[in-house]
Structure 1
Amino acid sequence: MNGDWLLRGRDGRLTVYLPSGDAVLCRAERGPAGPWEDVPRTVGGSQKLHPGAAVGQGRDGYAHLAAWRPTVPGESGLVHSTHFRPGLAALDWVPIGHPDQKGDRTGPPAVAVDGAGRGYVFVRNGNGGVSLRNQKVKGGWSSWQNLEGQDVQGELAAVTGESGLVELYAAVPGGILHWRQEGDGKRPVRTEGVDVPVRPGTLRALATSAEHTTLFFTDSSGDLCAWRPGEKPVTLLTSAGPGPVSAVRCEIEGHDCTVLVQRSASARVAFAAYPTEQEPAGAWWTESGPRLPADAVVSVALDEHGEVVAASVSPSAGTVLLTRRKDEPGLALEAWREI
C-alpha cells in the first residue's frame, strides 16, 4: 500500500487496509481500543485488482483508495473507492480511467484528500511525468491533467497540508520534484525542487506545521533525510532499513514530536522521535517487537486518545501485529500482539 494503511476513523476506531492477492481487505476495531473484527472484509466489491493500491485520508476521517485493475488483455485502468467509516462497507470501485487514455500500468498511484474532502489520484504517466485526476468542487471527476515532470521513479508521496491544500513529491534521478496547490480546488503547480541523491521508493510526506509539509527520504548513502521546500535537506539519522518510513505527529510529555517507524534491517520495527521540524535536535532508533517476515511492512497512527499506535502486516503470513504507547514517560510501548 502506498500511504499509511493504519487509519483512525472519525468515531475513533482504527482500521487496517491489507493487500491480498487481487483485492484490498480491511479490518476494523469493533470499538475504540478493540476488540477487532474476526474476519477482514473486501474493499470495493468483487472487482479484481493489480497489486500496489494507494490510500489517503481526509480531515473527515474518510479513507480514499485507488488501484489499478485489469481491463482488456494487456491494458489496465485506475479505480477509486471511498470508505466512510470503520464497520461499514466501502463504496464499490469506480473506474477513473488511464492517464494516457489507454495502455497498461504506468506506475503506482498515490492518493491525497484536500481540506474539503475531495480525493486526488496521482500517477506516473507513459512519458515519465505525473498525471492527476481529482474530484471536482461540484461533484464528479475532473479530466486527467498532465502535471509534467520527467524520469519520475518509484512511488509518489502525496500529502495534504494543514491549510487543506494538496502537495506531491516525486523522485527523479539526482533529485526530488515538488508540486503544490496555490488555492482550494486549483491544479497543483510545480515549484522549485531539490538536487539530492534520493533512493526511489523511500518517499513519505507529513504535514508538520501550518506553513510546511516535510518529506522524509533515504539518500544514496543510506541516510534518512528530511526536506521542506524552500530549505536544504537535513540528514536526520541512518535509515533503519529499506523502504519508506511511516510518520505521525503527536504530543510526548507536552512537546510536539514527530514519530518515525520503519522496518529495520534486522527485520524488527524501529521507532524514532524528535521535536517536530527540529531535526538538529537529533533522533535515534529503538527496535521493538519480534522479527518479521521479509515482506512485512509497518504503519503508525494515533488512537482515539491521541496516543501512538503502530501495526505490522505480513501479506505472506496473513498476520497483523499491533502495539500502543503505554502510560509511561517517553515512547514506551506495550507488548506486540496479534489481532
Structure 2
Amino acid sequence: MRATTVRADGRRPQPAGEPARDSADRPAAVRSGPWLLRGHDGRLILYALAGRAVLRWTERRSGGPEWDGPDVLPAEDLSHLTVVQGRNRYAHLLGRRVRPAQDGSLTVDLMYAIQYQAGRPLSEWRSIGNPHAKRERTALMGAPAATVADDGTLYVFAPTAEGRISLRREDERGRWAPWRDLQVTAALDTPAAAATSTGHVELLAPARGGALTWFQPEPGKALERGPDLGVVPLPGSATAVETSGGRLTYYLTDVRGDMVAVRAGEWPVPLGAKPGDGRHAALTTTLDGYACTVLAHRGAEGRVMLGVCGAEDERSGVWWTDTGTDCLGDPVLALDGHGRVVVLAVAADGSLTLARQEEGPGLTLSAWSRI
C-alpha cells in the first residue's frame, strides 16, 4: 500500500506539550489506539487511527530517540482499529469498517492488512467479512480482539450485541477458516485474547455475572469453555500477559472500580489502584535481577499511573507511581530494542508523548518527550 509521509523537513521538532498538527494545521485526533510494537530489527513502530487513515511512526534506530513519520496509510470508513503482533514480529491490523447502505442502514465488516517488517509498506486492505451473513445484521458486530499463536496463526474474535463471540482463524500460509460461533450469549463488549509461549490461545470475555474464559487443551485445537473467574470485569478494561511459562494473568477493573489481578484457579488479588474506565497495559521484564510485571493505566484523575510488582506476586504489593502526565485514552507499554521499558500515551493536547526507562536500579523513567 502506498503511504504518504507527513513531515516538516528542516523545521525544529515541537517540544512536548504543544499540539500535534495535521496538514491542515489542526490538532490531530487519535480515534483508536495507540499501539506500540517492536519490529524485527528492534525498532519500535507506533500505530494510531486518526481521521480516515492509520498513522505510523517508526524509530529511526533501535533504542531511539528520533522517529520518522507519521506515514499516512489510507483506511477509509474504519470506526476502530486493533493491532497485534506474533513471535515473527509481523504486525496484523484489523479494522471495523462501517459504510452506509442505500436504504440508510449500515453495512459493517472487518478489514485486514499486514506489515512484515519495520519501515516496509503495509499490504492492501482486504475484507474478511462478518459473522452475520445477513447485511442488515452486520452492524451488531463490535470491535474485534485478536492474538497470534506461536505457530503464526492469527485468531480474530468478533463480539456482537447479542452477547455472542465468533472466531475466525488465518493460518501461517494465509488461509482463512470459516467463522465459528463460540456458543455463548452472555458476553459484554470486546474480549481479551492472548497467546502463550507454549502455543496455547486463551480468551476472557466480561459478562454480567463474572468473567467467561476459553482455552485450548492443545496448541492449534478448538477453544473450549473454561471455568468462570470470580470477578465481574468492567467491560473493556481487561488485558492479559504471560507471567510464567504458559500461564496468563489478567489485569482488569472490577465493577466496583477497583483494579485486580486474576489467574485461572485463584481468587482475584486487589492491586490498590483506582483506575479510570479504560484498558490496562501490562508487560513482563527483569528489574534488578527479578522477574517483574509492569502495569500502566489512566488513573481516575486522568494521569498516567505506573505500577511494578513481582511476577505473580501481586499479594506482596504493587508499587504505584503517579507520573504526573495527563493523558487521553489508555497508555501503552513496550520493551525497546535495548530491553528498556517504554511508556507511551496521548497527551491532553492530542500529541503523542513517551518516557523511557533510564539506567539504574528499579524502574526510573526519563522525562516525557513528544514524538
Cα drift, residue 22 of structure 1: 3.0
* Counterpart selection for 1:54 from 66, 74, 82: 82
Alignment of 1:144-223 (within 5 A): 144-223=179-258
Alignment of 1:222-237 (within 5 A): 222-237=257-272
1:88 to 1:318, Cα distance in 2 relative to 1, 3 A: farther
Q: Quote the residue 1:6 is aligned against.
A: 36
Q: Quote the residue 1:143 is aligned against.
A: 178
1:111 to 1:72, Cα distance in 2 relative to 1, 3 A: same
Cα drift, residue 194 of structure 1: 1.9
Matched, 1:97 2:129: yes
Cα drift, residue 42 of structure 1: 3.3
Cα drift, residue 244 of structure 1: 1.5
Alignment of 1:1-339 (within 5 A): 5-43=35-73, 46-71=74-99, 73=101, 74-101=106-133, 102=135, 103-125=138-160, 127-136=162-171, 139-292=174-327, 295-314=328-347, 317-339=349-371
Contact residue 239 and residue 252 of structure 2 kept, 8 A: yes
Instruction: Output the CA distance in 1 between the equivalents of 2:186 and 2:72.
Output: 35
Instruction: Output the CA distance in 2 between the equivalents of 1:183 and 1:94.
Output: 30
Instruction: Output the CA distance in 2 between the equivalents of 1:162 and 1:320.
Output: 31
TM-score (norm 2): 0.85
Q: Residues 26-71 of structure 1: CA distance to partner in whole angstroms, max 9, x if unpaired?
A: 111121122544431234xx34132221121101111112111134
The code of the aligned residue for 2:40 comes to: R
The code of the aligned residue for 1:10 comes to: H
Instruction: Output the CA distance in 1 between the equivalents of 2:177 and 2:86.
Output: 19
Contact residue 59 and residue 68 of structure 2 kept, 8 A: no
Contact residue 216 and residue 225 of structure 1 kept, 8 A: yes
Mean Cα displacement is larger for which, 239-248 or 8-17?
239-248
Instruction: Output the CA distance in 1 between the equivalents of 2:263 and 2:301.
Output: 30
The code of the aligned residue for 1:333 comes to: L
Cα drift, residue 164 of structure 1: 2.1
SS at match of 1:280: helix
SS at match of 1:104: helix
The CA RMSD measured in Å over matched residues stands at 2.0
SS at match of 2:264: coil
Mean Cα displacement is larger for which, 5-14 or 46-55?
46-55
SS at match of 1:75: strand
The code of the aligned residue for 1:49 comes to: D
The code of the aligned residue for 1:218 comes to: T
Instruction: Output the CA distance in 2 between the equivalents of 1:3 and 1:274.
Output: 26
Instruction: Output the CA distance in 2 between the equivalents of 1:188 and 1:42.
Output: 37
User: Which structure exhibits the higher relative contact order, with contacts defined as CA atoms closer than 8 Å and separated by 6 or more residues?
Assistant: 2
Instruction: Output the CA distance in 1 between the equivalents of 2:204 and 2:252.
Output: 10
Q: Residues 115-174 of structure 1: CA distance to partner in whole angstroms, max 9, x if unpaired?
A: 011211101135311101111365410000001212211221111112122111100102
Instruction: Output the CA distance in 1 between the equivalents of 2:70 and 2:32.
Output: 19
The code of the aligned residue for 1:152 comes to: A
Q: Residues 271-328 of structure 1: CA distance to partner in whole angstroms, max 9, x if unpaired?
A: 1100001111101320114323xx34310011112111111125x8441101111101
Mean Cα displacement is larger for which, 316-325 or 253-262?
316-325
The code of the aligned residue for 1:304 comes to: G
1:311 to 1:189, Cα distance in 2 relative to 1, 3 A: same
